[in-house]
Amino acid sequence: MAKIAFIGLGVMGYPMAGYLKTKGGHEVTVYNRTQSKAEKWVAEYGGTYAGTPAEAAKDCDFIFSCVGNDKDLLSVTTGENGAFHGMKSGAIFVDNTTASAEVARTLYEKAKEKGCGFIDAPISGGQAGAENGVLTVMCGGDQDTFDTAKPIIECFAKFVGLMGGSGAGQLTKMCNQICIAGVVQGLSEAIHFAKQADLDVTKVISAIKGGAAQSWQMENRWETMKDGKFDYGFAVDWMRKDLGICLKTANDTGARLPMTALVDQFYADVQEMGGGRWDTSSLITRFEK
C-alpha cells in the first residue's frame, strides 16, 4: 500500500482518486480548491483531505494532479503552498492534466532538483472512462520513474504507456485531440449532409458504421448529435484550450495543422452560440443555426 495525494477533484479526478482508494487499496489524501468537494469525496471513499497541496503531498510516495491548465498546474505544484514544497525526496509526481509539453519539462527539472520524479501523464477516455476506470494514460518521463508509477496509475486505466522523455505524454495527447477534432467535424458534416439529402440518418449510420468510416465518436455520439443533445462529457471550452496548446506547439515546431486551426475556429463559433459547456459533439450545431 502506498501513501498517495490527489490534487484536483473535477469530473475526471474525483473518480480517479476513488479508484486509487478502492481498487488500489492505497492511503489517499485529497485536495481540491473548493473544499466541500474534498469533504464529499472523503465521505464517499474514506481517506483524508488537506487544506493545501503542500499539506496533501507531505510524506506521500506519489502525488497525482488533474487540474485545468498550465497556470493551475503551476499554482498547485510550485506556487505558494504548492505540492512541490511538501514533497519528500524520492516521491513521484504524476500529472494527469492536459497541459503543454513546456510546463511538463519545467516541472520535470524542478522535481529532479528536489530528488523527486515527475511524469506527465495526460488522459483520454472522457468522464465515462474515468468513472469506469478504463482511461488511456500517455506518459512522458524517465523509464525507471515510469516503471515505479505504472502499477499505481493502472488503478484507473486500461492502457498506460511511456511515450518518451519528459513532455512526450503531452505531445501524444495533442495528437489525440487533433484526431478527435477532425473526426467530430467529419461526422458532423456527414449527419448534416444526410439530413439535407432527406436520408434517414439512422439507416445511414447503420450502413456505414461497420466499415472504414467507423469511429468512437460515431459509435457513441451520432444519435445524440442527431437529436441535438450535448451534455455527454468533454466541454467545448476545454477542447479549445487543448487545441490552442496544439496550435502553439505546432507553431513552435514547424508542424502544419490547417484542419485543426479551422476546427478550432468552428468551436469558437459554438462558444459564441453559448455552447462553451456543451460536449464536443456540439460542433454539428454550426450547421443548424
Catalytic residue positions? Answer: 173
> Per residue in 200-217, is it b (16+ CB within 10 Å) or e — as a string?
ebeebbeeeeeeeeebeb
With vertex at residue 10, the alpha carbon angle to CA 43 and CA 230, rounded to the nearest 5 degrees, is: 120
Residue 129 · residue 122 · CB < 8 Å? no
Cα distances (Å, whole numbers) of residue 132 to 19, 155, 156, 267, 283: 9, 11, 8, 28, 26
32: its cell numbers: 481540491
What type of residue sits at position 135? L
- Give CA–CA dist 262/239, Å, rounded: 13
8 A C-beta contact, residue 145 and residue 112: no
- CB contact at 8 A, 5 and 31: yes
